[in-house]
Structure 1
Amino acid sequence: MGSETFPEVILAIILPPVGVFLRFSCGVEFWICLLLTILGYIPGIIYALCVLVV
C-alpha cells in the first residue's frame, strides 16, 4: 500500500464514494460505489476497499 493510497482508504471507510472519486473521478467505479452506498453502507465500503486496494 503506497502513501497515496492511505488517505483514499481512510476516506473509503468514512465516505466510500469520495475515496473512489479521488482515484477514478466520475468513472463507472464511482457510480457503482455510490449506488452500493445508497443501498447499504457496508456494501459501499467493501466495494470501495476492493477497488482501491486491488
Structure 2
Amino acid sequence: MEGSQIVNIIIALFLPPLAVFLEKGWGSECILDLILTIIFFFPGMLYALYIVLTQHTSR
C-alpha cells in the first residue's frame, strides 16, 4: 500500500465526499456520495472506500 492510498482511506472514513472528489473530481460519483452521506453517513463511507480502493487497484 502506498502512503497516498492510506491517506485517501483515512479521508474516506471521515469525509467521504472529499475522498471521492480527490479521486474522481466533481461528477456523478461525487454527487452520489454526497447524497449518500447526507441521507446516512455509513453508505457514503462505504461508497467512498469502494471508489478509493478500486481506483488504486486499476492504476
Same fold? TM cut 0.5:
yes
List gaps (5 residues or longer) in structure 2: 55-59
Q: TM-score, normalised by structure 2?
A: 0.81
Query: What's the offset of the Cα at 1:6?
Result: 1.5
Which structure's CA Rg is the greater one?
Answer: 2
Q: Where do 4+ consecutive residues of structure 1 move more than 4 Å?
A: none
User: What is the CA deviation profile of residues 2-54 of structure 1, one whole-angstrom value per residue up to 9, with x for unaligned ones?
Assistant: 33221111011001001111111102111110000001000000110011102
RMSD of Structure 2 on Structure 1 (CA): 1.0
Q: TM-score, normalised by structure 1?
A: 0.88
Using the aligned pairs only, state the percent identity.
37
The count of corresponding residues between Structure 1 and Structure 2 is: 54
Alignment-derived partner of residue 29 in structure 2: 29
